[in-house]
Amino acid sequence: MAWRTPPRHYGPWEQIASHLAEGLVARGVDVTLFATLDSRTAGKLDGVCPHGYAEDPALDGRVWEALHVAHALARSAEFDLVHSHLDWLPLAFAAHVRAPMVTTVHGFSDPRILPAYRRAASAYVSISDADRSPELDYVATVYHGIDLEALPFSAAGGEDLVTLGRIHPDKGTAAAIEIARMAGRRLAICGIVQDERYFAEQVLPHVDGDAVSYLGPVGPSRRAEVLGSAAALLHPIAFDEPFGLAVVESMACGTPVVTYPRGAMPEIVDEAVTGFLVDGPATAAAAVDRAAGLDRAACRAMASRRFSTARMVTDYLAVYERILG
């Protein structure tokens, strides 16, 4: 709802909802995608919000999310199953959903949203084992899937480093700059600016267009080129990342990852195959050459095996069957 489905530049929840919807349609499932009305799907599109509220300051996100959820509720009896990717608001109204409901928990923004989850008649899917709340029961963990065709293998890679994610202290953009400097390699920074002060104070002063470049959000169309031409992705997170879509996208292009063992990273990264888990900037810098020396084809192969949209669609179909059977 914040962004169009699929998103133009940024919007991981919308990206996954899109991959899943299109994948289900391709398998012959009758899918109605409730999303912003400028969204694109091979299924049926419905909704009330003209476009993403994060893309139009005239829209109050709270109001449009509520109108959207109310509209989907009103149609819920028409479906065999409702699959929500929309956080806690549909859960607060779960008693009014007239079909079995499953919710993919894309992350907990705040522990104070948990009361909506605890009371709701919804099955839950976690996006990593690490992101599970001990207060909830889950039917499955389903790792995100990506569009492997849109992220082709790049055998050559390159010498430079890349980091991709919201520019925010959580994502460790400043740490990536430090690591690249210590590793003696150039760094390309990609992502939307979520924390403007952090960007202005800790990132921009280092951007010189040579050692450190800022490439902007780098939407789906440019992502393969940027990720595929790097030696390694730096992902020195300062929070418990629930999944880490950029990490998997990088692997798919053949570019291994150097990250910290927080959140989902130990589940996502296969040590010495798709990257390295290290414990700080110095060890990260030391791991860069090792990461750059990994077999890029093996990295791609592992990403293809574990994080394809096809695998995600199969996993969700199994979840649906379990709920409906």
Q: Give whichever of 50 and 217 is closer to a copy of itself, judged by the CB atom.
A: 50
Q: Per rule CB under 8 A, is residue 73 in the interface with a copy of itself?
A: yes
Q: Per rule CB under 8 A, is residue 207 in the interface with a copy of itself?
A: no
Compute the Cα dihedral for 170, 171, 177, 179 and give only its sign.
Answer: positive
Q: Give whichever of 63 and 155 is closer to a copy of itself, judged by the CB atom.
A: 63
Q: How far is CA 252 from CA 117, 149, 187, 261, 313, in A?
A: 33, 10, 19, 20, 18
Count of chain residues binding a copy of itself (CB under 8 A): 25
Q: Tell me the DSSP string of 71-99.
A: HHHHHGGGSS-EEE-STTHHHHTGGG-SS
Q: Which residues pair with 103 in a beta bridge?
A: 84, 124
112, with CB counted inside 10 A (0-12, 13-18, 19+), is exposed
Q: Give whichever of 42 and 74 is closer to a copy of itself, judged by the CB atom.
A: 74
Q: Per rule CB under 8 A, is residue 59 in the interface with a copy of itself?
A: yes
d(CA 229, CA 251): 12
| CB 89, min distance to a copy of itself, A | 6
Q: Per rule CB under 8 A, is residue 136 in the interface with a copy of itself?
A: no
| CB 101, min distance to a copy of itself, A | 13
Residues 6+ apart with CB under 8 A from 183: 161, 284, 285, 286, 288, 289
Q: How many CA atoms lie within 13 A of 61 on its CB side?
A: 11
Q: Give whichever of 52 and 157 is closer to a copy of itself, judged by the CB atom.
A: 52
Q: Per rule CB under 8 A, is residue 95 in the interface with a copy of itself?
A: yes
Q: How many CA atoms lie within 13 A of 55 on its CB side?
A: 18
Q: Segment contacting a copy of itself (CB under 8 A): 28-36, 110-118, 147-155, 225-233?
A: 110-118
Q: Give whichever of 14 and 65 is closer to a copy of itself, judged by the CB atom.
A: 65
Q: Segment contacting a copy of itself (CB under 8 A): 57-65, 207-215, 237-245, 273-281?
A: 57-65
Query: Which residues contact a copy of itself by CB under 8 A?
Result: 58-60, 62-64, 66-67, 69-70, 73-74, 88-89, 92-96, 110, 112-113, 115-116, 119
